[in-house]
Amino acid sequence: MNPNSPETWLIPEDLHIDDLFASLKEKFALDVLPEYSAKIEYVDTFDWELYREKYLLHNNAGSWSLYHENTCSLTLEKGGPKLDSPCFSSDFPPGPLRDVLTPILGIRCLLPVATVLLAGQEIRLLNRDEKTVVRLIIERQQPEGQAYSYRLVRLVAVRGYDKELSAAQEILEENGIVEVVSALIGFEEACRCGGRYPLDYSSKFQIQLSPRSTAREAIGSIYLELLDNMRINIPGVMADWDIEFLHDLRVAIRRTRSGLSLVKQVLPDALVSRFKKEFAALGSVTGPTRDLDVYLKDRQKYLDRLPPALQPGLELFFDQLAKKRQAEQKKLVRHLRTKKISILFDDWQRSIEQEELHPAPKAQMPVLSVANPIIFKHYKRVLKTGLSVDRTSPDDDVHALRIQCKKLRYSMEFFASLYPKKELQVVIKHLKKLQDILGIFNDLYVQQTMVLETLGALNQERPTKTNLSISASLGGLLQSLYQEQEEVRYHFKEAFIQFTDEETTTLCHQLFKKKQVSK
């Protein structure tokens, strides 16, 4: 038994603690330490970034504790941000806690996920020298707002006293303490009370499909999952907790739209074209705020591209962007608050669920006979376009390749659970490398367009001191962006060659080029 991560048992309801103490006293002297009690408020990002990395972060009366499950390391800090509003890693004072949090949280904020009331006691079991040989911890964990609680007991070993530990464990067993539970049962239950559960959300798209299901069933569950993602992110977008809510909302919309155009004849055409339009409209409403988020989040990186003399001008520009973002965010919230959105979501859900009302030619086909040709078709398209793109190609051609890669990626991710994981991952890995380069290229292109448009608009205005200073900085920025874009061009071919190497090609043929799949 690892002394640091002891097993936790549930104390049966009918067991009186004094009876347990009496049996322990037959073998050990007891040193009962004073009772402790605390109100523990657990926080995590919306997508459980800390929990995923085996960390638990909680606040107790203004002090923060970060616990790591594997190493059992505990980082403590007094003070730090208050919990009344979402906080970011940058809100913590510089120190060990912030150092751990920064890379894990990234740009995500911390939100309260659970509150647990603890009351407990440490009992040291002593030998004849009055030396502590085992520590016993009895704790009551009560999810806040609930009438019930869990009585738990843990034995913490002291190194070199294994016999005493076994003896103590036997005494627990004799008293009917045999049910092992998670040491975090209070935390998990409190999450559940708040309508959440650890790892119930991830920004990665994951869905388990059955190869025996029909195309209609499969695509239905994909759309419902994406719809769920849209709904779940909207409160965070409206409250503007952090910029990832909007990003995730947009990704779910984009995936849905991709699905609607990639997967044909599984839903009736009329339905598809209606919702394509509706989701395109929703996508474009969310666009302006996101575009500004993308610039603002990299404010420092843009400043670093410029010589110090040009930086103040860019700061002014960013201040203007930040104001603009505020205005766009207000507009977005107003839009999301309208009934139209919930009507759209409800209609969409009904259309997916009421299969019998919306027949389509390929609806009853086995999912793989629909998935394979879709993926293979887009794979071939990427190959075809990719072969013609090199460093001299016009930006539009590169853009077209990027869109095709995206379609291929989405189609593979939709149906990922139907294919052998390892093999599919190899293909996705190489595709991702290519997409990363195309993505950087495209970002640099979009950024230059934005700079040029801004410069154009500034030309129409009066040449104030501020405008001149901003123009000079944007000129410098344009130069830096253009240079980097030219450098990125050189890397297309390498990434594309990797994607078309023998291993990936063979895999793609094996995985997706299947003529007919029997149900």
Partner 1 sequence: MSILAVYNIKGGVGKTATSVNLAYLASIQRKTLLIDMDPQGSASYYFRIRSPEKFGTKKLLKGGKHIERNIRGTDFPNLDMLPADFSYRNIDIALDDCKKSQTRVKKILEPLEEEYEQIILDCPPNLTLLSENIFYAADQILVPAIPTTLSILSSEQLYAFLDEIGLGHDKVRIFFSMVEKRKRLHTEVIQSMQGKPGVLTSSIPYLTDVERMGVYRMPVTASHPNATASRAYQQLWDEIQDDVQAQ
d(CA 179, CA 176): 9
Closer residue to partner 1 (CB): 125 or 481: 125
Contact 221, 186 (CB under 8 A): no
d(CA 107, CA 294): 12
160 binds partner 1 (CB under 8 A): yes
Assigned token pair, 115: 């509150």
Closer residue to partner 1 (CB): 158 or 383: 158
d(CA 361, CA 365): 9
Closer residue to partner 1 (CB): 157 or 171: 157
Residue that has been written with the tokens 């806040």 in this structure: 144
Q: Which of 157, 226, 368, 401 is the binder for partner 1 (CB under 8 A)?
A: 157
Closer residue to partner 1 (CB): 3 or 312: 3
Closer residue to partner 1 (CB): 134 or 477: 134
Q: Count residues near partner 1 (CB under 8 A).
A: 11
Running DSSP on this structure, what letter comes out for residue 114?
E
Contact range with partner 1 by CB under 8 A, out of 57-65, 151-159, 309-317, 404-412: 151-159
SS3 117: strand
Contact mark string toward partner 1, 120..139, x via CB under 8 A: ----x----xxxx-------
Nearest distance from residue 298's CB to partner 1, in Å?
Answer: 37
Q: Which of 158, 181, 303, 333 is the binder for partner 1 (CB under 8 A)?
A: 158
159 binds partner 1 (CB under 8 A): yes
d(CA 282, CA 250): 9
- Contacting residues for 416 by C-beta, under 8 A, at least 6 apart: 206, 424
195 binds partner 1 (CB under 8 A): no
Angle in degrees, CA 359, 372, 223, rounded to 5:
50
Assigned token pair, 33: 């330490």
Nearest distance from residue 124's CB to partner 1, in Å?
Answer: 7
15 binds partner 1 (CB under 8 A): no
Q: Which of 3, 80, 211, 475 is the binder for partner 1 (CB under 8 A)?
A: 3
Nearest distance from residue 445's CB to partner 1, in Å?
Answer: 50
Nearest distance from residue 158's CB to partner 1, in Å?
Answer: 4
Nearest distance from residue 401's CB to partner 1, in Å?
Answer: 51
List of residues contacting partner 1 (CB under 8 A): 3, 124, 129-132, 157-161
